[in-house]
Amino acid sequence: MKFSESLKKNSDFQKVYRNGVSKANRYLVMYIMENGASLNRVGISVSKKVGNSVVRHRLTRLIRESYRLHEDMFHSGLDIVIVVRNRAGDKNYHEIKDALLHLANLHGIIDLESNGKK
RNA sequence: GAAGUAAGACAAGUGAUCGCAGCUGCCAAUCCGAAAGGAGGCAGGUGAGGAAAGUCCGAACUUCACAGGGCAGGAUGCCAGAUAACGUCUGGUGGAGGCGACUCCAAGGAAAGUGCAACAGAAAGAUACCGCCGCGUUUUUCGCGGUAAGGGUGGAAAGGCGGUGUAAGAGACCACCGCUCCGCUGGUAACAGCGGAGGCUCUGUAAACCCCAUCUGAAGCAAGACCGAACAGAAGCGAACGUGGCCCGCCAGCUUCAGGUAGGUCGCUGGAGGCGGCUGGCGACAGCCGUCGUAGAUAGAUGAUCACUCACGACAUAACUCGGCUUAUCGUCUUGCUUCUUUU
């Protein structure tokens, strides 16, 4: 990913959970916190309640792919944590992508017009 | 052809675009570096499973512990073999099921001891409820005694079955079968066959405690090895400044050392390896020859979109590596064998 790296340490996740702003819809929960850097850092969390290893890996990839393909639209300098809710287990790419963009729009961190030009 | 049984193979496919992780090659130009090289870029090729799962056994490897012996705990439990090893596998023996192919079996010990056996039933290491027989009484009834052949209960009722016998019965006696012991024969053995003797008096349960025999040190790749910032530590040096009348000392600084945190490198994939052939063995397997190169991430890589085809796609994602076991699973195909039916 060009403008982003992944969020790795547990302490980073905890920091975002504690200090960030959260919004949710049917399938996802998104936590946002400004990190003061020029890059975005993205973390994805899928609980074991959602499904077995295959389901969890698939959801992680769908979210990562959704973010990657729409990276240009996101504002930078943010720490983003995306938590998958239980009912998202059997959803396909388009539903996950729409959920992700919907949440980003709620947070006001994306620029929809740049997508229209592209 | 139908039904079944055993063994094995596969686990939707093709193309295009974008994306991810190692590897190989190239890079005059960007950044770091004295250089090697690295970051980055481009190209090529590779990239999860039959169970990768459960983590139930066994091993390899690593660290720690360790004179020797015993106890406790744990595991295994017919015999012989295979194997690095096993609780796995192979071939047998015995038992259970099936017409059969074939499948299944924690398959040592119940006179060492303890426990448990609900309910039913008269009685569960002992018994007489009904019944049968005898005697007494007697219209019936009732009482005493004998009896396990019959009924009923139960998972299980005192060896089975037929006869002799008897008041009725009973291994009381006899034949056959079974059980235990002894001998002989066959077999490496489990065991089988034959012969003889004995009693048939004492149920089941040891995936209940237990007894006997054999095995067994612990933890696990987040094992562990190496390099190694920062902070704090030790030793040495210590110009100037400060403390001080001055020296030592302290503070600051430099050098070295040990320690081993963040981080990095290794462990990390070529191995008791796959495939084919020959030889030995009933077989598990072993030996020899040829051939193949097949993931190594470290918050954790296999995805997305579009198009087409079909049977419309199950269970499920490597994390040090092997050998097994168990469990989950949409379906497709191959081969051997069995039973039945039809045709010749």
Give whole-number Cα distances, A50 to A38, A43, A97, in Å.
Answer: 33, 17, 18
Q: How far apart are CA A115 and CA A107, in angstroms?
A: 17
Half-sphere CA count of A33, side-chain side, radius 13 A: 18
Q: How far apart are CA A22 and CA A31, in angstroms?
A: 4
Residue A55 has a pLDDT of: 84
Q: Quick check: A90 pLDDT over 50?
A: yes
pTM: 0.72
Whether the beta carbon of A57 falls within 7 A of nucleic chain B: the reply is yes
Query: Where exactly are the structural domains of chain A?
Result: 4-109
pLDDT per position as a tens digit, A2-56: 566 677 777 777 778 888 888 888 888 888 888 766 677 788 888 878 878 888 8
Q: Which nucleotide is nearest to A97 (CA to C1')?
A: B304
Average pLDDT over residues A83-88: 82
CATH number for the domain formed by residue range(s) A4-109: 3.30.230.10
The 3-state DSSP class for residue A24 equals strand
Q: Quick check: A117 pLDDT over 60?
A: no
Neighbours of A118 (CB within 10 A): 8
Q: Quick check: A118 pLDDT over 50?
A: no
pLDDT band at A62 (very low <50, low <70, confident <90, very high): confident
Residue for token digits 């240009």? A72
What is the edge-to-edge ordering of all strands in the sheet holding A40-46?
Answer: A4-6, A40-46, A78-84, A28-34, A21-24
Residue A107 has a pLDDT of: 86
Task: Report chain B positions within 7 A of protein CB atoms.
Answer: 18-20, 48, 52, 299-305, 316-318
* Average pLDDT of the residues of chain A: 77
